Amino acid sequence: MCGIIGYIGNRQAQSILTNGLRKLEYRGYDSAGIAVSDGTSIAVRKAKGRIDVLEQQLEQSSVQGQLGIGHTRWATHGRPSDENSHPHFDQEGIFSIVHNGIIENYLELKQDLLEQGVSFTSETDTEVIVHLLARAYEGDLVTAVRTVVKQLRGAFALAVMCEHEPDKLVAVRYASPLIIGVGQGENFIASDIPAILEHTRDVFVLDDGDMAILTKDRVSLHSMETDEPVVRELVRIEWDKEQAEKDGYEHYMLKEIYEQPRALRNTLVGRVDERTQKVAFPGLNLTPQAITGIDKIFIVACGTAYHAGLVGKYVIESLTQIPVEVDVASEFRYRRPLVGKNSLTIVVSQSGETADTLAALREAKRRGSTVLAITNVVGSSIAREADDVVATIAGPEIAVASTKAYTSQLLAFYLFAVYLAQEKLALSEQERKQLIQALKQLPEQVENILDNADHIRSFAESIRHEKNLFFIGRGLDYAVALEGSLKLKEISYIHSEAYAAGELKHGTLALIEEGTQVIALVTQAELFEKMISNITEVKARGAHVLGITLEENIELHRSVDEVCLIPATEPLFTPILSVIPLQLISYYTSLALGNDVDRPRNLAKSVTVE
Ligand code: AGP
């Protein structure tokens, strides 16, 4: 996610803004900038790259003034570049704005502005807002902001300043976090607490639909909709710096597990056309004609991203009948894969820098395949070299163990599979609408699981001394079992295996003995009876079984020792829900063992070497 900071007070703004942005560096970014008003004009300094690059600019040409805004950009619309970095400003440089989020309808708004003769300097959705402001302004900044915000759809946290009104800052929050820091003779805007913690511990946490108007001596909170004053509790932050960076969570991994509903909502933004109830990928190069010409799809990735690809296979084949082959990148790149010009190769990578996956992308392109990347980093090598990108909008993932990126990758596969099927006319309108409705419910369903997860911690603590654990499942549940097993191994260091449940009797059942811990995933109704048989097989050898199943499968209780229930959804979409308990089990087991949850031994977040 992008980082925002704003300042208005009696001190020079420049260093407060740049130091505040440095406190947001942990969120990940690809460019940074500030805008400062000296009371008569606004000066903007911004650049692609680290904050050091911005500070070198400021050493050559500093900016004076006691009012300003700053931004670290995590590219979603438009590649990392000087022009795309924030703050953005209108043609006359009267207004300046920073933004965190996605403006879903920016293309139509931009088209209108272009037709009115507005010239753009960037590819961003944000720049649309500041040009709309310039056209809506009739002498009152707050009114202009309210007028413009009513035209926007999507997720946005904004900080706005205007040359004509150098005594105020305006902030707006809708679906992207924003706080107001209250100081003595100075006030602050920030997307996250660490940016302002050294100046004040008293903050208002804005709600969706709130507008804040800051002067150096006063903060007033209003409803964007009605302009009525709103009352928000002034919260005293007692966290230290490190706790603040984790939003109060003990580890980044837990923070990122609990960020999944927002990551899913952000990944959905702009991808369902509400009017037609069709999936849309604005800017996708793959044409409907090219889609009908695809005779095979290859999915290539590493680790958790590979496990997402296994789910992608099931979903794409089920909805489109296009054959799909999934491979780990380190195998694909050396096995002379039979990809050709009628193949679509989908490479999946959170970081977009994994060496094996990048090499696989190049091998697929060399053999004539079109390549589409599903990645969380828009400016990454994989994103740049792919023919098409479907970005996950999970925000920076800091913990080595991938959680929110994985579920966002699953959502990207779901959206893309429905898109392929709708373009191939392989879905009826009713089927398509039903699937899209189910996708929209997933973020809230994940929230429900997370809100009722206390029993998972006690189970995790009960298995912390196990030497071996077994995950079993069939179909999509087997794909999720593989991910659950990897999560447990990589952060608890407990050995575990994931088996296709039907395989047990072909050898691995020999491993089951009295007290062996087994986690069985049982979410696919058509395989339910088969799974009951497999659970009975392992129980008969003394296994202790935790069943993860749908709320309506109450009869499973009779077959297992413990059960973890998840809400029902479209069968194809259950992996996004069934993986949540597995993520939490791995987290709490690792925590109980006193491991370094965020930085497990021997592992790196991005494997940029073979
Ligand atoms: C995730 O939990 C793992 N740490 C690891 O397997 C990771 O998924 C893999 O290295 C691929 O990384 P990428 O998605 O950045 O390409």
Place of tokens 């080595």: 400
Does the pLDDT at position 50 exceed 90?
yes
Do 460 and 417 belong to one domain?
Answer: no
Judge whether 599 lies within some domain: no
Q: Cis peptide leading into 166, omega within 30 of 0?
A: no
- What's the gap in Å between 352 CA and the centre of ligand 1? 10
Angle at 294 between CA 300 and CA 376, to 5 degrees: 35
Do 315 and 333 belong to one domain?
Answer: yes
- Which amino acid is it at 93? G
Do 466 and 572 belong to one domain?
Answer: yes
Mean pLDDT across 286-299: 95
Residue with CA closest to ligand 1 atom 16: 349
Do 295 and 175 belong to one domain?
Answer: no
Answer whether 399's CB lies under 8 Å from 253's CB: yes
- What's the gap in Å between 533 CA and the centre of ligand 1? 34
Does the pLDDT at position 53 exceed 80?
yes
Judge whether 252 lies within some domain: no
Mean pLDDT across 477-503: 97
Domain of 312, CATH number, reads: 3.40.50.10490
- Least confident range from 41-50, 81-90, 231-240, 344-353: namely 231-240
Query: Which ligand 1 atom sits nearest the alpha carbon of residue 402?
Result: 2
Judge whether 267 lies within some domain: no
Judge whether 607 lies within some domain: no
Judge whether 602 lies within some domain: no
Cβ of 354 closer than 6 Å to ligand 1, yes or no, is: yes
Do 456 and 404 belong to one domain?
Answer: no
Domain of 139, CATH number, reads: 3.60.20.10
Provide the 10 A C-beta neighbour count for residue 178: 27
Look at residues 425, 443, 461 and tell me which one is the last residue of a structural domain: 443
Do 48 and 173 belong to one domain?
Answer: yes
Reported as a pLDDT band with limits 50, 70 and 90, residue 571 is very high
* 216 contacts: CB under 8 Å, gap ≥ 6: 8, 9, 10, 66, 167, 185, 186, 187
Nearest in space to 70 (alpha carbons), one of 30, 27, 19 = 19
Ligand 1 mutation pick, 332, 351, 603, max ligand atoms within 8 A of CB? 351
Side-chain half-sphere CA neighbours of 135 within 13 A: 17
What is the model's pLDDT at position 225? 87
Considering Cα of 607, then 258, then 153, then 227, what sign does the dihedral take? negative
Q: What's the domain range around 35? A: 3-245
% of the chain at pLDDT higher than 70: 100
- What's the gap in Å between 604 CA and the centre of ligand 1? 9
Reported pTM: 0.83
How many angstroms separate the CA atoms of 311 and 575, rounded? 8
Q: What is the DSSP string of 113-163?
A: HHHTT---S-S-SHHHHHHHHHHH-SS-HHHHHHHHHTT--EEEEEEEEET
Look at residues 399, 421, 443 and tell me which one is the last residue of a structural domain: 443
Count of domains for the chain: 3
What is the model's pLDDT at position 120? 96
Cβ of 445 closer than 6 Å to ligand 1, yes or no, is: no
- Least confident range from 74-83, 337-346, 397-406, 429-438: namely 74-83
Does the pLDDT at position 492 exceed 80?
yes
Side-chain half-sphere CA neighbours of 323 within 13 A: 6
Ligand 1 mutation pick, 354, 404, 490, 590, max ligand atoms within 8 A of CB? 354
Cβ of 409 closer than 6 Å to ligand 1, yes or no, is: no
Residue with CA closest to ligand 1 atom 5: 303
The 10s digit of each residue's pLDDT in 424-435 is: 999 999 999 999
Judge whether 604 lies within some domain: no
Backbone φ and ψ for 148, nearest 5 degrees, come out as: -70, -45
Judge whether 490 lies within some domain: yes
Do 488 and 421 belong to one domain?
Answer: no
Judge whether 565 lies within some domain: yes
DSSP element (H, E) containing 454: helix 454-462
Do 425 and 467 belong to one domain?
Answer: no
Place of tokens 């990940």: 28
Query: Which ligand 1 atom sits nearest the alpha carbon of residue 357?
Result: 16
Cβ of 383 closer than 6 Å to ligand 1, yes or no, is: no
Look at residues 245, 261, 284 and tell me which one is the last residue of a structural domain: 245
Does the pLDDT at position 607 exceed 80?
no
Mean pLDDT across 240-256: 88
- Indicate if 302 belongs to the active site: no
Say whether 496 sits in a helix, a strand or coil.
Answer: strand
> What token pair was written down for 133?
């402001």
Please provide the average confidence, as pLDDT, over all residues in the chain: 94
Active-site choice (2, 162, 302, 564): 2
Ligand 1 mutation pick, 302, 374, 378, 400, max ligand atoms within 8 A of CB? 302
How many angstroms separate the CA atoms of 1 and 73, rounded? 7
- Which amino acid is it at 307? H
What is the model's pLDDT at position 552? 86
Cβ of 589 closer than 6 Å to ligand 1, yes or no, is: no
Reported as a pLDDT band with limits 50, 70 and 90, residue 169 is very high
Do 137 and 184 belong to one domain?
Answer: yes
Question: What is the 3-class SS of 166-196, one letter each residue?
Answer: CCCEEEEEEECCCEEEECCCCEEEECCHHHC
Does the pLDDT at position 210 exceed 90?
yes
The 10s digit of each residue's pLDDT in 344-386 is: 999 999 999 899 999 999 999 999 999 999 999 877 889 989 9
Do 287 and 343 belong to one domain?
Answer: yes
Mean pLDDT across 77-81: 83
- What's the gap in Å between 348 CA and the centre of ligand 1? 10
Does the pLDDT at position 553 exceed 90?
no
Cβ of 401 closer than 6 Å to ligand 1, yes or no, is: yes
Query: Which ligand 1 atom sits nearest the alpha carbon of residue 400?
Result: 4
Do 222 and 178 belong to one domain?
Answer: yes
* 17 contacts: CB under 8 Å, gap ≥ 6: 5, 7, 34, 36, 68, 69, 70
Do 43 and 161 belong to one domain?
Answer: yes
Cβ of 400 closer than 6 Å to ligand 1, yes or no, is: yes
